[in-house]
Structure 1
Amino acid sequence: MDDRSKSRPEIGGTKISWQYLGKLTEEECEWAFRFTQHEIRDLLDALKIPNPFITRSGSRFTDVEALCLLLARLRMAEDQFSLSTKYDRCQAGISEITNELSVWIEKKWGHLLDWDEHGLMHPDRLREYADAFNEYGVPCRSLVALIDCTIRPTCRPVRFQELAYTGYKKCHGLKFQALVIPNGLIAVLHGPFRAPQNDMGVYAESMLAQTMLEKAIQPRSLPTDPPERRYFQIYRDAAYGVSPTMLSPFLSPGELTAAQKAWNLAMGKVRISVEHGFGLVAQQFPFINCVWKQKIWGTRCGTFYKVATLLTNAKACLRPNQTAIRYGCMPPELKEYFYERM
C-alpha cells in the first residue's frame, strides 16, 4: 500500500464545512487542499471571499466551501465526478464555483501580480532584495529579481492552432513571463501570451522595460549616475541582452577573462531560483499540468495559472519556501501581501 494513501482523508460524501475540516488531521487537510485548517482560515480572512458566494445560476456556497472546492480542483487531476462524490456537490455546481471564484480572485487580487510599487515592489523592499542577493554572493548591489518565461501546455485547439503551437517545445500552450524575488514569491506575472512568441517579444509586449525605467529608480540616485546606481536591475540569460535595467551573462567570441567567468559563475548560481518559482506552482497545484484538461477555447487556462500563482505565494507567506530560506529574505505576512488597492 502506498504510504501516501495513509494521509488521505477517508471521509466522503459530505459538504465541506468547518465541522468537516475539524474531523481531518492536519496531514489529511493539507493533502486534500494544500493548506491546514488554520491556514485555510487565515487565507479566507486575507482573500475576503463573500459569504455566501452566489454563482450566476443562483447556487450558494459558504466561503470555506467555495475556497476548498477550488483548492481541491487545483490540487489534483481527478475529474469533477470524483469531487462530487467526495464533497456532496453536483458536477455542474463544482464547475461553476471553481470557474467563478477563480475569476473573482483574479479580478480582486490580480494587481498583486503587476509591478506593485505599493506592495512587493516598493523601493524600500527592492533595496532589501538587492541586499539579500548581494549578501548571498551576487557581485552587485542592484539585482532585485530574476526573469524568465514558462510555457503551460494545453490541448490542441480546434481553431487557430498555429497561434498556440511552439515548434521549440513541440506542444500547444500559453506563455507567461515572471519575476521571482529572493523571498521566494513570484512578484510579477505577465500573460498569457502566444506560446510561439520568443522571450524578447514577450518582454517587449509586457512593457516591463518601460515600467522599470519609471518605477525601479534607486532612492537618492541622480539621473547622471551609471545604470547600476540609478536603477534596480533584473537578471536573465544572454537572449535578453543588456539594458539599463537588465543584466545578462558575459558572452565573447574569444576567451572570457577570469573576472567575467567569475561573474557568470556567481550569477548562474542564483538564476535557477526563477525555475524553482515556476516549479513550486506546478508542484503545489498539479491541475495546471493536466494538458488534457487545459483547453484554450473551453477552460480558463490563464486564469487558473494566475490563481495558482497567487495561492502558491500565499502558502509561501504562511510557510517560507526554500528560496526564502536560501537567501535569508522572508516574505511578508499573509494579510500584508493581500492588501486592497486604494
Structure 2
Amino acid sequence: MDAIQNNEQLEAWMQEDPELRDFLLLVAPLLLQPPRPTATTSILQKLQGVAAAASSHTTSAAELLIASDLEELDNQRPRPAQGGQRITEEWLRSLSSADCVWRFRMTADEIIQVAEALDIPEEFKVEGRYNFSHIEALCLLLARFRTAADQYNLTMLYDRSQSSISRCINELVAYIDTRWGHLLDFDHDFLLHPTKLAIYSVAINQQGGPSTSVFGFVDCTIRRICRPSEYQRQAYNGHKKVHSLKFQAVVLLNGMFDHLFGPMEGHQNDAHLLKASHLMEICAVHARRERVGDNAPIEDRFFQVFGDPAYGVGAHIMSLFSNAHITAEQRKWNAEMAAVRIEVEHAFGIVVNTWPFLNAA
C-alpha cells in the first residue's frame, strides 16, 4: 500500500509541475541505480526537499536532485585512491629485510629465488591485458595472502587497480596449481621415495613414537567460507557449525606437507576424504619397504600413515587404540603416539598464522 500511495503522490507532483516532470524522466534511471526496495521512498524524500527549497526560490530542482544523488553515491561506496609504489626488483631490494618480511613474509632474495623456482614467466600476462613482472606478480600474491584485508589496501600500496590485482592473484594461483600441484599428490620420486620414508619413520621413533613404520600423520582441516547461495547443506559442517571446504593432508615430523587433497564439501567426514583421495591405494604401490619380500608381515612390508581413531586400522594406516577397556600398555602407546602426532596440528596452525587470508571468510 505504501508503494502505491508513493507512486500516486509522485504522479500528482509531476502533473502539477511539467518542468519537474520532464527533468525526472531524464534523471530517473540514475536515481534508481542501484535497484533497492526503498528507491521510490528515497526519491520522494528528495522531491520533498526540492519542493521546500523551490518554494523559497533558493536554487533549481535540477541542481538539488543532482547534488543529493551524487552525495548519496559517494556515501554508498567509498574507495581509496590508487597510489603507492609499483613493485620492481630494484624497489624490492631497497627495502630492509624486516620491512620486506613484514610486507611479503619473505626477504627480497627469497622472493626472487621462489619466483624463479616456480618457473613464473618473466612477463606474466593476465586477462584484461594486464602485464606483470614475475617478481611483481608473486609479491602481490604474497601480500594478498599475508592479510585478510580487502584488495583495495593493495591498490594504495602498490599502484595497481583492484581489478588488475584480483586477476593477477587468481591467475597466478591457477598457474602454480597447474604447474606444481602434482608434487602434493604423492611425490614418490623425491620427497616420498622409500629411502626417505625409512628416514622419516626412524625420526618419529627417535622422537618418542613407539612405532617403527609410521612416516607421516594424516588429518583433515576445514576452511570456513561465506554462506553460498546454492548447495548450502553440502557446504555446512555440523561439527564446527560453519559453511566450509575440507582438505586432507599428510604431514611429516618436520612440519612439511607431503600430501594434500581437496577441497571437498564441508559436510563430508574424514573417512570419505581418505577414500576419495585414494591415499591407501597410493601407499600400497609407493610406500613399500625396499628389499622386503611379499611374504613378510604387513608391518615389515609397508610404511604407514598415522591418524585419529576415526580412520581405523589397515595395512597402510595406523590409529590410536579406541576401545574403552584398553590396557595400561595400550594407553601408554596412545600417549606416546599422540605426542608426536600433534605435529600435524602445528602444521595447519603455521599455515593459517603465516597466511591469514586462508582463514578469512
State if a TM-score over 0.5 links the two structures. Answer: yes
Deviation at 1:23, TM superposition (A): 2.3
Which protein, 1 or 2, shows the higher relative CO under an 8 Å CA cutoff with sep ≥ 6?
A: 1
- Of 104, 115, 130, the match for 2:186: 115
Checking the alignment, whether the CA contact within 8 Å between 2:208 and 2:340 is kept in structure 1 is no
Structure 2 counterpart of 1:23, from 73, 80, 94: 94
Contact 1:112–1:119 (CA under 8 A) maintained in structure 2: no
CA offset at residue 125 of structure 1? 0.7
For residue 305 of structure 2, the aligned residue among 234, 242, 258 is: 234
Q: Tell me the distance in 1 between the aligned counterparts of 2:166 and 2:133.
A: 16
- Counterparts of 1:192 and 1:284 in 2: how far apart (Å)? 20
Corresponding residue of 2:327:
257
How far has the Cα of 1:253 moved from its partner? 3.4
The runs of 5 or more residues in structure 1 that have no matched partner are 1-11, 292-342
Q: In the alignment, what sits opposite 1:215?
A: 286
**Structure 2 partner of 1:137:** 208
In the TM superposition, what whole-angstrom CA distance separates every residue of 1:169-228 from its partner, at most 9, and x where no partner exists? Answer: 100010000000122211100000111111111111111111111111111112121121
Q: Which structure would you say has the larger Rg? A: 2
Number of the residue aligned with 2:350 = 280
* Partners of 1:151 and 1:286 in 2: CA distance: 14
1:47 corresponds to 2:118: yes
Alignment map for 1:118-267 (pairs within 5 Å): 118-254=189-325, 256-267=326-337
TM-score (ref. length: structure 2): 0.76
Q: Which runs of 4+ in 1 moved over 3 A?
A: none
Residue deviations 1:215-268, cap 9 Å, x none? 1111111212112111001111111110011111112232x2232122111101
Percent identity of paired positions between Structure 1 and Structure 2: 44
Name the SS of the counterpart of 1:60 in structure 2.
strand
Alignment partners' CA distance in 2, 1:150 and 1:237: 13
**SS class of match (1:149):** strand
Selected match of 2:151 from 80, 85, 104: 80
Output the CA distance in 2 between the equivalents of 1:201 and 1:150.
Answer: 13
> Corresponding residue for 1:104?
175
Tell me if 1:270 matches 2:307.
no
Output the amino acid matched with 1:261: R
Counterpart-to-counterpart distance in 2, 1:45 and 1:124: 28
Task: Please tell me the root mean square deviation across aligned C-alpha atoms, in Å.
Answer: 1.1
Amino acid at match of 2:357: F
Q: Is the 8 A contact 2:140 2:169 kept in 1?
A: yes
Indicate the SS of the match to 1:114.
helix
Query: Quick one: which amino acid aligns to residue 157 of structure 2?
Result: K
Structure 2 CA distance for aligned equivalents of residues 189 and 252 of structure 1:
30
Task: State the alpha-carbon separation in 1 of the partners of residues 319 and 298 from structure 2.
Answer: 14
Separation in 2, partners of 1:274, 1:112:
18
Q: Quote the residue 1:310 is aligned against.
A: none
User: 1: CA distance between counterparts of 2:231 and 2:334?
Assistant: 41
Name the structure 2 match of 1:34: 105
**How many corresponding residue pairs?**
279
